[in-house]
């Protein structure tokens, strides 16, 4: 039986984060292919973490800069190791390479962190995010991780093009793997236009792009919508809201900070429109996927829409100024025909772009082929071995120094 070790930055929380949904989808995909999975993390689980053992996944608490990991991974002897974001690759990949050199190493980027951070800095500096400086220290670290791994999973076609074009990363080191949906429901299965009311948004409120979007809604967008739809309410769902976000709650303004939603589908299907006015970020947006899955039209920005929709379908849901965003929200909210068209379009996009069974089948075929030619693959991308050697030497001795220091 193939053995997969996932080294997680955190234990997955699919009810609170898109990253958690992504990880759960990967676990389900590998489980369906008969993999024995162990999920290891140096983080502690929370009350929102999924119970992986109910999925047949073994869990292991590991420590950074600790030789106990060497014993653990040697005994497990995985055929495949998946790193959850580049930070875990930096921390543990050298130990995996030293203890299990034949294991195929995969990096799941989730999103390109350097892209999100560069755009956040551009917004802070009042620069167009299209002109953000991408050539940063974080970019060096993240792309080095990509080069060291045998394969990196990229969730967005835009990010695939960025890596291969701007940074000249070989396509053979990358694999486009978007969200994977395995169950489809037609739009007429959901509450209709007249059965719904009000606006909503949802997302982890520790996440910078989500925090900014709530502030953007409060200060610039919601007053414009409220002026045209005085009876409308906006409900904001999300866990881990900081105090300054909680203080935005204002019943008179119809601006409600609701906290964590027990069931995203339930609150999605009550709302008439989902708002995602993201001014920076990267990857794919889980809230927009959830909206389409629940027959709820969404309105977003060019950043939010990036990679979400196929070129063959016009989503008719993108606006980049507060005035245009509010205008589009009101139009969809008040026009039954337009609302139904957007809801149906979302279902069509999911079926065309996020067919989980088809995506998984193609990926597993690619993975099998890569496994059979792994030695040749590594030779063809020798720069990765050079970086791995340098990283192994540097990280190894720094880690051992920290180990010894911790013993004192």
CATH number for position 375: 3.40.50.2000
Crossing angle between the packed helical segments 86-99 and 137-148, to the nearest 10 degrees: 40
Q: What is the biggest distance separating any 2 CA atoms in the chain, rounded to whole angstroms?
A: 70
**Residue 93 host element (H or E):** helix 86-99
pLDDT in tens, the chain (408 residues): 799 999 999 999 998 899 999 999 999 999 999 999 999 999 999 999 999 999 999 999 999 988 899 999 999 999 999 999 999 999 999 999 999 999 999 999 999 999 999 999 999 999 998 889 999 999 999 999 999 999 999 999 999 999 999 999 999 999 999 999 998 877 678 999 999 999 999 999 999 999 999 999 999 999 999 999 999 999 999 999 999 999 999 999 999 999 999 899 999 999 999 999 999 999 999 999 999 999 999 999 999 999 999 877 777 899 999 999 999 999 999 999 999 999 999 999 999 899 999 999 999 999 999 999 999 999 999 988 888 877 666 666 666 677 777 776
- Domain range holding 329? 187-353
pLDDT for the residue numbered 264: 92
403, two tokens = 């180990």
Task: Specify whether 116 is located in the same domain as 105.
Answer: yes
Q: CB-side exposure of 131: number of CA atoms within 13 Å? A: 6
244, two tokens = 């300054």
Task: Specify whether 203 is located in the same domain as 226.
Answer: yes
Tell which residue, 116, 152, 157, has the closest CA to residue 307: 157
Of the residues 353, 372, 390, the one at which a domain ends: 353
Residues 216, 279 contacting (CB under 8 angstroms): yes
Task: Specify whether 193 is located in the same domain as 79.
Answer: no
Q: How many helices, marked H, and strands, marked E, lie in the chain?
A: 17, 12
Task: Specify whether 16 is located in the same domain as 134.
Answer: yes
Task: Specify whether 229 is located in the same domain as 169.
Answer: no
99, two tokens = 């203890």
Task: Specify whether 267 is located in the same domain as 343.
Answer: yes
> Distance (Å, rounded) from C-alpha 60 to C-alpha 266?
33
pLDDT for the residue numbered 189: 84
**∠ at Cα 25 (22, 29), nearest 5°?**
140
pLDDT for the residue numbered 272: 98
> Running DSSP on this structure, what letter comes out for residue 250?
B
Task: Specify whether 79 is located in the same domain as 23.
Answer: yes
Please state the φ and ψ torsions of residue 360, each to the nearest 5 degrees: -65, -40
Of the residues 353, 369, 396, the one at which a domain ends: 353
Identify each DSSP E strand in 229-294 by its residue range. 234-237, 255-259, 273-276
Of the residues 353, 374, 395, the one at which a domain ends: 353
Task: Specify whether 219 is located in the same domain as 149.
Answer: no
Residues in the chain, overall count = 408
Structural domains counted in the chain: 2
> Distance (Å, rounded) from C-alpha 91 to C-alpha 101?
16
Task: Specify whether 329 is located in the same domain as 391.
Answer: no
Task: Specify whether 20 is located in the same domain as 154.
Answer: yes
Tell which residue, 240, 235, 234, has the closest CA to residue 205: 240
Tell which residue, 34, 35, 33, 56, has the closest CA to residue 360: 33
Give how far Cα 381 sits from Cα of 150, 151, 162, 173, 265, Å: 9, 11, 19, 8, 44
Task: Specify whether 383 is located in the same domain as 281.
Answer: no
**∠ at Cα 116 (112, 122), nearest 5°?**
145
Task: Specify whether 220 is located in the same domain as 363.
Answer: no
**Residue 37 host element (H or E):** strand 36-41
């Amino acid at each position: 039986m193939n053995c997969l070790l996932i080294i997680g930055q955190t234990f997955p929380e699919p009810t609170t984060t898109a990253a958690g949904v992504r990880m759960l989808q990967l676990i389900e995909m590998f489980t369906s292919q008969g993999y024995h999975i162990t999920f290891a993390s140096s983080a502690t689980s929370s009350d929102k973490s999924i119970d992986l053992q109910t999925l047949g996944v073994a869990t292991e608490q590991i420590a950074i800069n600790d030789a106990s990991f060497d014993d653990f991974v040697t005994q497990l002897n995985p055929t495949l190791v998946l790193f959850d974001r580049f930070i875990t690759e930096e921390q543990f990949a050298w130990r995996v390479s030293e203890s299990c050199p034949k294991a195929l190493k995969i990096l799941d980027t989730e999103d390109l962190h350097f892209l999100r951070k560069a755009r956040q800095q551009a917004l802070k500096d009042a620069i167009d995010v299209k002109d953000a400086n991408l050539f940063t220290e974080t970019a060096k670290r993240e792309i080095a991780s990509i080069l060291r791994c045998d394969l990196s999973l990229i969730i967005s076609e835009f990010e695939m093009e960025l890596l291969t074009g701007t940074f000249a990363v070989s396509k053979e080191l990358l694999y486009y793997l978007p969200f994977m949906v395995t169950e489809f429901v037609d739009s007429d299965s959901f509450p209709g236009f007249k059965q719904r009311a009000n606006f909503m948004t949802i997302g982890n409120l520790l996440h910078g792009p989500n925090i900014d979007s709530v502030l953007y809604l409060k200060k610039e967008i919601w007053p414009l919508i409220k002026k045209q739809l005085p009876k409308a309410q906006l409900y904001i769902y999300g866990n881990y809201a900081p105090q300054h976000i909680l203080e935005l709650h204002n019943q008179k303004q119809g601006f409600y900070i609701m906290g964590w939603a027990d069931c995203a589908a339930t609150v999605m299907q009550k709302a008439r429109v989902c708002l995602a006015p993201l001014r920076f970020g990267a990857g794919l947006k889980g809230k927009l996927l959830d909206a389409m899955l629940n027959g709820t039209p969404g309105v977003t920005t060019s950043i939010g829409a990036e990679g979400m929709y196929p070129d063959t379908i016009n989503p008719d849901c993108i606006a980049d100024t507060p005035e245009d965003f509010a205008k589009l929200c009101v139009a969809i909210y008040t026009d039954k025909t337009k609302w139904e068209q957007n809801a149906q379009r979302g279902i069509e996009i999911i079926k065309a772009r996020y067919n989980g069974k088809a995506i998984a089948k193609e990926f597993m075929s690619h993975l099998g082929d890569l496994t059979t030619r792994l030695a040749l693959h590594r030779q063809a991308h020798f720069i990765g071995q050079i970086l791995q050697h340098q990283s192994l030497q540097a990280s190894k001795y720094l880690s051992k120094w920290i180990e010894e220091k911790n013993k004192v």
